[in-house]
Amino acid sequence: MDENADKQREEAYLGLLAQHGRIAPAVARLYTPPGEDAADLEQEIRLQWWRSLAGFAGRAKASTWMYQVALHTALTFLRRRRRRLRPESLEHAGNVADPFPHAGGREDRRRSALHGALARLEPGERALAYLWLEECSHEEIAAVSGISANAVGVRLHRIRKRLKEMLGTGEEER
Amino acid sequence: MNPQRDELQELWRKESTDIGVGAKGPLPKGEAAGRAEASRLRRSVRRDGWLKIGALLFLGAALPLFAGRFSAAAWGVLGFSLLAVVLGIFQVAWSSSWRQESASLPLAASLAADLEVWRRRRPALAVLLGATPALAWQVYQLAYLALNPGRSGRLVNLLFLTAGGPLLWLLATWRQWARLEAWLLQVEGALAAFDENAAANYLLARRRATKRTVLIAALLLALLLTGTLLYWLAK
């Protein structure tokens, strides 16, 4: 009986991982510089998914639950040598959370700059920005964050404006 | 391509495709030791608890030495060691009862729950973890005096005994408090993005933490200067 339950849990976990497993490395890259810390956080996210799988039980959309657990883990994952990021020029953005340190193409540089700009947001704002970049609807972001869809809209408007200012796209908000 | 998609979303989408599913590894079912701060705290409370319980070994080794000369100092060794053991048992039992169930809640609720739980635990945690070096110091001092009764009248030994332990306890408690404070400020900072009240509280808490740190640093400096001055005056 227990073996059956264990097997079912393993299958459910592997199924969720196959569908949404990329959330773990993406969130780890978002909150830690590449290297040991990112690997630790990624592993911790997977561990928390495994541990809280019983509490999920299909009450929410699988992706919503996985975003919640991953972001909660990242936001409470203290590193002792946490660096305070200052709003320096984006030429240095690549040093912060650049997953493409040796890339030279224009798009790679833009992606690198996007990571740099995200790293300059406050951790909670970064979570909202990440969910928006993942193309989650306002309703889903509201379900993950626990604030109203209206409040999500207001905060995202501010965050997008800041991101675009930092990236220097100069695009006006629609 | 989705016509509503923003150019940043488009950029991110390409990166997501590059990430793929991420590294595959064994199932984490055998892993008990998480790397998050809450797991590390639980481990350090448990380790510290076992360290305190280890005072039993010290007692077992020291008691035969006191045979036939059970002075007040020897009773002190016994008392402080037993106190350490009792606190250690409490710590191990307490940390085992901690459950982490908030991760599956929406972020605002889960972070608020974390803050409430850890703020409630913080005073006891800081005091318990801070007590370990102080208890070890007291036991060591008393054992020294029990074995060298002729030296208990010396001022320096009396000072070490009466002031050393409490001072160590205060400093170690403050260190633990500061460690917890740093973590709780991080959680509060994250919560500030979702909750206006939390944002205001976060600013106040940061100001309070800075003031406290400056005050304690000033006190320690004053203590150091007083000690140096007394040393030179006594010479």
Residues in CB range of A86: below 8 A, 6 or more apart: none
A21 touches chain B (CB under 8 A): yes
Cβ distance B34 to A48 less than 8 Å, yes or no, reads yes
CA proximity to A33, closest of A118, A103, A105? A118
Given this model, what pLDDT does residue B183 score? 87
Mean pLDDT of the residues in chain B: 84
In a domain, B32, yes or no: no
* Per-residue confidence band for B162, with pLDDT thresholds at 50, 70 and 90: confident
B211 has pLDDT over 50: yes
Per-domain residue ranges for chain A? 1-82
Residues 124-143 of A with CB under 8 A from B: 124-125, 127-128, 132-135, 143
pLDDT bucket at B235, cuts 50 / 70 / 90: low
Is the pLDDT at A96 greater than 80? The verdict is no
- Report CB contact under 8 Å: B36, A17: no
User: Averaged over A71-86, what is the pLDDT?
Assistant: 69
pLDDT of residue A138: 93
pLDDT digits (tens, 9 = 90+) for A86-95: 443 344 444 4
pLDDT at B217: 85
Higher-pLDDT residue of A88 and B183 is B183
Considering only CA atoms, which of B28, B5, B20 is closest in space to residue A19? B20
Residue-averaged pLDDT of chain A? 80
State the smallest CA–CA distance between residue A99 and chain B in angstroms. Answer: 10
Q: Which residue has the higher pLDDT, B84 or B61?
A: B84
Tell me the pLDDT band of B143, cut-offs 50, 70 and 90: confident
- What's the pLDDT score for residue B234? 72
For the residues A39-66, what does the mean pLDDT come to? Answer: 84
Q: Is B194 an 8 Å CB contact of chain A?
A: yes
Looking at residue A170, its amino acid is G
CA distance B227 to chain A (A): 32
**Burial zone of A27 (CB within 10 Å; 0-12 exposed, 13-18 middle, 19+ buried):** buried
Is B22 within a domain? Answer: no
Facing A75 at nearest CB: one of B9, B15, B187: B187
| CA-CA-CA-CA torsion sign (B116, B121, B127, B132) | negative
**Which residue range(s) make up the domain with B79?**
37-95+106-225
**Interface check A157 vs B, CB under 8 A:** no
- What's the whole-number mean pLDDT along residues A117-144? 93
pLDDT tens by residue, A20-46: 888 999 999 899 887 778 888 988 899
More confident residue, B11 or A82: B11
User: For A1-82, CATH number?
Assistant: 1.10.1740.10
Does B19 map to a domain? no
Mean pLDDT of A138-148: 93
User: Any CB–CB contact under 8 A between B22 and chain A?
Assistant: yes
Number of domains composing chain B: 1
Q: Which residues from A are below 8 Å from B21, CB to CB?
A: 17-18, 21-22
Has residue A134 got a pLDDT over 50? yes
Q: Residue B164's pLDDT band (boundaries 50, 70, 90)?
A: confident
Q: Report chain A residues whose CB lies below 8 A from the CB of B195.
A: 147
* Nearest-Cα residue of chain A relative to residue B198: A124
- Contact call for residues A148 and B22 (beta carbons, < 8 A): no
The residue with greater pLDDT, A79 or A143, is A143
Closest approach of B199 to chain A, Cα-based (Å): 11
Structure tokens of B26? 């064994």
Q: What is this model's ipTM?
A: 0.79
Q: Is residue B6 in a domain?
A: no
> How are the residues of chain B apportioned to helix, strand and coil, as percentages rounded to the nearest 5?
80, 0, 20
